[in-house]
Structure 1
Amino acid sequence: MKQKLKLSFDQVKNKFKIFFRNPWVKLSLINLGLGILFYFIVIFSTIKYLDVYSNHGEEIAVPNLVGKKSSVAKMQLEDMGLSYEILDSIYDPSLPNGIVKQQMIEPTSISKVKVKENRIIGLRLSKKTELTEMPDLVFKHVDFAQGILENRGFSSRIQYKPTKEANGSVLDQKQNGKSITKGTRIPIGSEITLIVGQNEVGVLVELPNVVGMNYQDAISLLGSKGLESISTICNDCENLQDTLSAVVFGQSPEYMPEKTVERAQQIVVLINAGANQTEEPIE
C-alpha cells in the first residue's frame, strides 16, 4: 500500500515538473504576478493621493461667526481655508442687514469638532426689513381692521372723516399720505392710516365764506370748522403748484351770513389757477 502511494506521489510530482517546464505556463505565471503587483501599486498610490489631496489628518477649528458682519465672516473663513454659503435671511429689526444670525456648523469651541479644508459653512444673515402684503380693509369695521394690521406686523392710526353712511368702517387705507391697494408689498412695521367714517348727521357747523381766498387758506379754514368732506374743481390747473396757488372763485353750498350745514355735508370748492375772478356759486 505504501509503495503504491509513493508511486502516485512521484507521478504527480513529475507531472508538475513537466507542467512548469512549459514556457507558456512560466510566462502566464509571470504575467499574473506582475498583474497582482501592479494592482497593489495602484491601490497604494490612490490612497496616498487622496490623503494628500484631501489633507487627510489636517483639521481646522470652526470659528464662532455669530454676531459678525457677513463681509468679516467671509474674510475670516477664506483666511482659514474654509468656504461659506449664504443660506437665507432672518428678519430681525433690532440688527442691521447682513449680520450672521446662525451658522450651520457650530464652532469648535461648542461642538468640539474640527473640519477639513474647503469645508462649506452655511450662514443665515439678518435683514432689518421684511415685506408683506397689504390687506384690503375698506368697509371693514375699524376694530377688526386694526386687528388684521397688528397680526401682519403693521401699526395703525385713525383719521375720522364725516360720513352719512359706513359709520365706524374703513373708507380708505393710506401709507405716507397715499392710498395703498390690496396686495402691495410694504415693510413690516409700516404705519397705516385708516380713514374711518364717522356719522355726524344732524351735527351743524357754521359755513364760512372762502370765496376770494387762497386755496390753501380756504381748505384750512374749512377744516378748522370741522368740514372735511371737500371736493375741488379747478378749470386750468396743470400741476400741484397751480392748485396750491389758485384762488377760490366759488363754493357750494353758497355762503350766507349765519348759515349752518351738517358737518358731513360735502363742500365743493371752485378754483382757477392765479385767477381773481368771482363767479356765481353753484347749488
Structure 2
Amino acid sequence: MNLVPMADILQDAHQKTYAVGGFNINNMEFLQGIMQGAEELNSPVILQTSEGAIRYIGMDYVIKMVEAATKNTKIPVALHLDHGSSFESIMKCIRAGYSSVMIDASKKPFAENIELTKKVVEAAHNVGVSVEAELGTIGGTEDDHTVEEKDAMYTDPDQAKEFVEATGVDALAIAIGTAHGVYVGEPELDFDRLAKIKKIIDMPVVLHGASGVSAADLQTAVKYGVNKVNVNTDFQQSFTTKIREIFAEKTELYDPRKYCGPGRDAIAEKVKEKIKTLGSNDKAW
C-alpha cells in the first residue's frame, strides 16, 4: 500500500495551522467517495476504520480496498484505527498494514491510561506506525464506543502536558465539548481550553465528534490549534439521505448501483466541503 505515517501528515498541519480530515470508512462507496473528494482538492487524508467497521467489512477487505484506492494516488494517505480498545486489537491492525493507530484508554484512571498508551507507542514506533491517544472523555456513541453524558469530562491542560511527556504520542485527542453521534442542539466548544492545551503541549491536537459542529466553529478550532478532525456521522447521513431521496422518487428501483453510486457522490461532495472548511485543500505534497 502507498501509505504514509499519520505523524507526517499532522506535523505539516501543525506547522502550517490547518487540519486534515480523519474520515471513517463504512463500506466501499465510503472509501471511494472520500478518496474522490480528497484527490479533487489535492488534500492529504486520513482513512479511518473503527473496530466495528473492521468486523463488518473484514480486515482483508479493508486492506485490499485501501491498497486499490491508494495504488495510483498522488496525495498523502494514512490508514488509521479509530478508538482502538486494546493492545491486542491494535497489534492486529499494525500487522495488517495500518500506518497509524489510536489507543483510547480515556475511560481508565490517568495512570492506567498513561501505562497502556506508552506500551502501544513503544510497539508502534518500533515499526514506524503513528499513535493517537485520548485524554478526557468525549460523550456520545460511535460503534462500540459509548460515553454517557454524565461521564464526559473535559481535558485538563496540565494533565495533557504530563500525559504527552510520559507517553510520547504523536497526536492527542482532547475533550472540549464535542460528542460522537447526532447532536441535540448546538455544541458549545471551550476554545480557551483548546488554546491553553495547544500552547502547553505544542503538538498535533485532534477533535473527535465533529459531525454537526458548524463550519465557523471548526475553523475557529483549527485557528486555535486542532490539526485532525474526525468525521463519520455527517457522511453516513449524506449517504442515507441521498438514497432515501432516490427511493422516494423511484419506488421500484432495485439495482444497488443506481442508489449506492449517487450515495457515493454525496459523500464526495461532503468530503470536499469539510476539506475546504479545514483548510487542507492544495496541501498535498
Structure 2-normalised TM-score? 0.19
* Rg comparison, structure with higher value: 1
Structure 1-normalised TM-score? 0.19
Higher relative contact order, structure no. (Cα contacts within 8 Å, ≥ 6 residues apart): 2
